[in-house]
Amino acid sequence: MTMKQANEKLGQGVGFERIRRITGYLVGTMDKWNDAKRAEERDRVKHGLK
């Protein structure tokens, strides 16, 4: 692949990484989380500072 071709495709199919804390540990991305952990993360609400 030439530099030009590579540049044109840069980013294609590449997702964002979303790092979250679960059970005390950080996990690089959520791909490897089990279903219950994903559900818990999805349900979290933010806590206001009053």
Partner 1 sequence: MIHSIIKRDGRIVLYDQNKIAAAILRALEAASEGDAADAARVANAVQSALQAQFRETPPNIEDIQDQVEKQLMNHGFNNAAKAYILYRANRTRAREANTSLMKTIDEITNIDARASDMKRDNANIDGNTAMGSMLQIGSAGAKAYNEMYLLRPEHAQAYREGDIHIHDFDFYSLTTTCCQIDILKLFHGGFSTGHGYLREPKSIQSYAALAAIAIQSNQNDQHGGQSIPNFDYAMAEGVAKTYRKAFARTLANAVEDFLDQEDLAERVRKIVVQAETEAGEGPKLENYTQFDPAMNANLCRALCLTESDAARLIARARRRAWRITEADTFQAMEGFVHNLNTMHSRAGAQTPFSSINYGTDASAEGRMVIRNILLALDAGLGHGETCIFPIHIFKVKEGVNYNAEDPNYDLFRLSCKVSARRLFPNYVFLDAPYNLQYYVPGRPETEVATMGCRTRVMGNVYDPTRQIAYSRGNLSFTSINLPRLALESQGDEKVFYEKLENMLNLVAQQLLDRFEIQAGKHVYNFPFLMGQNVWLDADKLTVQDDLREVLKHGTLSIGFIGLAETLTALYGAHHGESAAMQEKGLAIVSFMRKFCDQISQAHKMNFTLLATPAEGLAGRFIRMDQKRYGKMPGITDREYYTNSFHIPVWYPISAYDKIRLEAPYHALCNAGHISYVELDGDTAKNVEAFEAVVRWMHDAGVGYGSINHPVDRDPVCGYVGVIGDVCPRCGRREGDRIPADRIDELRKLYPEMPAFQGIQ
Residue ranges that bind partner 1, judged by CB under 8 A: 1, 3-4, 6-28, 31-37, 39-40, 43-50
* Shortest distance (Å) from residue 25 CB to partner 1: 6
* Shortest distance (Å) from residue 38 CB to partner 1: 8
User: CB burial class (10 A; 0-12, 13-18, 19+) of residue 37?
Assistant: middle
* Shortest distance (Å) from residue 23 CB to partner 1: 4
